[in-house]
Amino acid sequence: MKQVHRISLLAATLVLALAACKREPDAAQPPTAAAPEAGAPATSPVAPEAPVELKDVIETNERYVVGITYPPGIDRYPGLAKALSDYAHAARGELMEAVDGFGNDKPTAPYELSLSFEKLLETPQVVAVAADGSRYTGGAHGQPLIARFVWLPQQNHLLSANDLIANAAGWQAVSDYVREQLLTGVTLRADADELEPAERSEVLKNASRMIDDGTEPKAENFAQFVPVLDTTGHISALRFVFPPYQVGPYADGTQTVDVPASVLRPHLAPAYSGLFAQ
Listed by start position, the domains of the chain span: 2-159, 163-275
d(CA 192, CA 153): 45
d(CA 113, CA 98): 11
The structural architecture, per CATH, of the domain 163-275 is: Alpha-Beta Complex (3.90)
Best CA proximity match to 129, nearest among 154, 146, 112: 146
Q: What percent of the chain has pLDDT over 90?
A: 68
Q: What is the pLDDT along the chain (278 residues), one digit of tens a residue?
A: 434 444 344 344 444 443 433 444 444 444 444 444 433 344 444 445 567 889 999 999 999 999 999 999 999 999 999 999 999 999 999 999 999 998 888 888 899 999 999 999 999 999 999 999 999 998 888 899 999 999 999 999 999 999 999 899 999 999 999 999 999 999 998 888 888 888 888 989 999 999 999 999 999 999 999 999 999 999 999 999 999 999 999 889 999 999 999 999 999 999 999 999 98
pTM for the model stands at 0.80
269: how many CB neighbours lie within 10 A of its CB?
Answer: 18
Q: Which residues contact 89 (CB under 8 A, 6 or more apart)?
A: none
In whole angstroms, what is the distance from residue 160 CA to residue 15 CA?
28
Length in residues, the chain: 278
Alpha-carbon gap, residue 214 to 112, rounded angstroms: 27
Tens digit of pLDDT for each residue in 184-199?
999 998 888 888 888 8
Choices 2.160.20.60, 3.30.565.40, 3.40.50.1980, 1.10.3720.10: CATH for 2-159: 3.30.565.40
4: left (phi over 0), alpha (psi -120 to 50) or beta: alpha
52-73 pLDDT tens trace: 889 999 999 999 999 999 999 9
CA distances to 60, 70, 142, 179, 252 from 113, in Å: 10, 14, 9, 32, 22
Residue 248: exposure state from Cβ atoms within 10 A (0-12, 13-18, ≥19): buried
CA distances from 150 to 157, 163, 171, 209 (A): 9, 12, 19, 30
The CA distance from 67 to 106, in Å, is 19
3-state SS, residue 158: strand
Closest CA to 136 of 112, 106, 116: 112
Amino acid 108: pLDDT: 87
Model pLDDT, residue 139? 84
